[in-house]
Chain A
Amino acid sequence: MSATATAVSAQGSDSPFPLEKDDLLSAYRTMKTIREFEDRLHVDFARGDIPGFVHLYAGEEAAATGIMMHLTDEDRIASTHRGHGHCIAKGVSVHEMMGEIYGKVSGACRGKGGSMHIADLSKGMMGANGILGAGAPLACGAALAAKKLGHKGVGISFVGDGASNQGMFLESLNLAGVWELPVIFVVENNGYAESTSVDWAVASDSYVDRANGFGLPGVTVDGTDFFAVHEAAGEMIRRARDGGGPSLLECKMIRFHGHFEGDAQTYRAEGEVEDIRNNRDCIKMFADRVSEAGVISRVETDAVDAEVATLIDSAVEQAKAAPLPDTADLLTDVYVKY
């Protein structure tokens, strides 16, 4: 991967990073918003405030943020069951998201989808998905539509390490290659397929090898390193926009929480979660780097933290106060016309 292309934008600035200060602050704000959103859900779920179950993205924020910073609303993403981070980074309103998770009419899907189906097509967010691996063909379709409609949009398919074993994901790698689609397959490898270790469940040692097997280039990055993700994703997205076809990005990342909230996680090693929280927190690492480089001060990140906490407070408050769906909504929007 070439760092020079991304570095161009920051030439002449004071930032030693390939991003201007405003963009770095924006990246920090996005990551922090995801973390605060998930941390709040963790607490509210335990209290019994949330009607359904949730899968939290905390610990994985650098991946969604590093990728989505390259995208516009014309770029479509197909997300996973662990989709809150993707939604936030893609620009879906946290108020609408929280409303949805609380099952209220103020929700992104008017309370009909819940955590696993949050979508906002106007933002290019084609939905979280309760079926593992199912987003890959959909992202291929969005990429096909972008190509046919003549805009420069790309499709991004997110899949976990576990769902990467699904036939429809592997079929999509092949189809994207055959049709030369502008699509990027992002494997978010957090080490666990639900409770099952990736080392056990994936026969191949390397996702890059898997991609290569389908004729696609692939890259593995440290998914906790925002800058590594940002650079690698930028390269792949540019390539896809320029007609260079599909590719695969494996982000090796970590999951702070269980597969779902309420998961006792007895399958994890003793001390594992404390260790990753203390030593591999992608947001802490990002904040340290930008502050040590003298680009963003602690005062500035503290200000963002406060701003984000207020935002999530208001999202929760609004969600709790919002009206429940009307029973008549049960039968609306099954069809456009029937």
Chain B
Amino acid sequence: MARKSFRQALNEALRHEMARDDNVIVLGEDVCGGAGASGEQDAWGGAFGVTKGLLAEFGPERIMDTPITESAFIGAAAGAAMTGLRPVAEIMFVDFLGVCFDQIFNQAAKVRYMFGGKAVTPLVIRASFGAGARSASQHSQALYPLFTHIPGLKVVIPSNPYDAKGLLIEAIRDDDPVIFLENKMLYDSEGEVPDGAYTVPFGEAGILREGDDATIVALGRMTAVAETAAVRLANDGIDCTIIDPRTVSPLDEDTILDFVADTGRLVIVDEAYPRCGTAADISSIVAEKAFHDLKAPILKVTPPHAPVPYAPQLEEAFLPDTRDVEAAVRSVMEGA
């Protein structure tokens, strides 16, 4: 197995699926880059270079630049999905989905249900998310709780290159609309990724580490933060399990509940805002279903209820870090 970047893993997933199925198309702003300009075509390959090279391999009929018009092209992707294609639409930043919410949550998410099961919408919407790139309030959010809230959507948050490839292939083959969110700070991260096509199923959490003392649930880039904290805690004799749900809709509740039953202690680390967020959601599920397994209150480690700031020291203060996670775990361990 070769080491590959998160970006390359995603690119391979798209290439496999486009080669496998002619009905898979890619569309979005600058997914090629340079459309209609006199210079290089495929100049960008998307805002983060994920789709680079697809133009040469599949041609402009299969990978289409769009005008800056999210509402129209996400809706067109939904309409095309309803009528025979399997579009993969790229939104540069998840923050921009605000301008096309209707097409996602009133159209794509609901047509199957509203039409009594007579429609399928095999649509993937990929977008970058996350703080850390000094991109300020409108380009740094982790908005997946908004999509998790909507019945009909599936929501995927890969945390490493292996999962990124397998989950994206799974998403493209899935017949439901999938919101696929890529933490922008992970694009250059590397990991072992097989060359061939493979899938990682939805609704099955990954267990990144096993320990008897406390359970940490972490998503996306926060899994690495949790792992660093867990190594430090292990030096002090506190052994943590780390669960990466990988998809928040569907959510692998069983795995989380099983480990909470074993450890009796739960810390949830998440980059989304705290109110009505993923950490709050998981916390409420565990409180309802496993209250009597708990030996300590559930703790959430999240950013504050504030927009993402620009200045580096403010943004660092905004994001959960290893010290926050360590402190939370030590807190739930008190009296143990």
Q: Are A and B co-members of a single complex? A: yes
B23, B66, B114, B116, most chain A CB atoms within 10 A: B116
Chain B: which residue is nearest A78 at the CB level? Answer: B79
Interface residue stretch chosen among A139-147, A194-202, A291-299: A139-147
Is B76 a contact partner of A168 (Cβ separation < 8 A)? Answer: no
Give the interface size class of chain B: 35 or more
| CB of A306 closer than 8 Å to a CB of B | no
Chain B: which residue is nearest A96 at the CB level? Answer: B116
Given known A126-B79, A130-B106, contact A338–B250 (CB-CB < 8 A): yes
Q: Give every chain B residue within 8 A of A229 (Cβ-Cβ).
A: none
A326 CA / B61 CA spacing, docked (Å): 45
Q: Give every chain A residue within 8 A of B106 (Cβ-Cβ).
A: 130-131, 134
Contact of B154 among A155, A168, A175, A335 (CB under 8 A): A335
Contact of B83 among A107, A130, A145, A335 (CB under 8 A): A145
| CB of B40 closer than 8 Å to a CB of A | no
Q: How far is the CB of A76 from chain B (nearest CB, A)?
A: 6
Interface residue stretch chosen among B2-10, B67-75, B267-275: B67-75
Q: Give every chain B residue within 8 A of A117 (Cβ-Cβ).
A: 114-115
User: How many A-B pairs with Cβ below 8 Å?
Assistant: 157
| CB of B102 closer than 8 Å to a CB of A | yes
Is B103 a contact partner of A137 (Cβ separation < 8 A)? Answer: yes
Q: Give every chain B residue within 8 A of A53 (Cβ-Cβ).
A: none
Is B112 a contact partner of A141 (Cβ separation < 8 A)? Answer: no
A167 CA / B119 CA spacing, docked (Å): 26
A91 CA / B118 CA spacing, docked (Å): 16
| CB of A66 closer than 8 Å to a CB of B | no
Given known A120-B118, A155-B79, contact A333–B84 (CB-CB < 8 A): no
| CB of A127 closer than 8 Å to a CB of B | yes
| CB of B242 closer than 8 Å to a CB of A | no
| CB of B324 closer than 8 Å to a CB of A | no
Contact of A131 among B100, B107, B113, B152 (CB under 8 A): B107
Find residues 61-107 in chain B having any chain A CB closer than 8 Å to their own CB. Answer: 61, 64, 66-67, 69, 71-85, 87, 100, 102-103, 106-107
Contact of B115 among A109, A148, A337 (CB under 8 A): A109
Is A127 a contact partner of B114 (Cβ separation < 8 A)? Answer: yes
Q: Does more than half of chain B's interface fall in helix, strand or loop, or is it mixed? A: mixed
Contact of A141 among B67, B71, B80 (CB under 8 A): B80
Is B83 a contact partner of A76 (Cβ separation < 8 A)? Answer: yes
Residue-wise interface mask of A (64-77) relative to B, using a CB-CB cutoff of 8 A (1 in contact, 0 not): 00000000000010
| CB of B111 closer than 8 Å to a CB of A | yes
| CB of A317 closer than 8 Å to a CB of B | no
| CB of A172 closer than 8 Å to a CB of B | yes
Q: How far is the CB of B199 from chain A (nearest CB, A)?
A: 13
A residues adjacent to B (C-beta < 8 A): 76, 78, 107-113, 117, 119-122, 126-127, 129-131, 134, 136-142, 144-146, 148-149, 155, 167-168, 171-172, 174-175, 178-179, 332-338
20 A-B contacts (beta carbon < 8 Å): A76-B83, A78-B79, A107-B116, A108-B115, A110-B116, A112-B116, A113-B116, A121-B82, A126-B79, A131-B106, A134-B102, A134-B106, A137-B72, A138-B82, A138-B103, A145-B80, A146-B83, A148-B61, A333-B112, A337-B175
B residues adjacent to A (C-beta < 8 A): 23, 25, 61, 64, 66-67, 69, 71-85, 87, 100, 102-103, 106-107, 111-120, 151-152, 154, 174-176, 203, 250
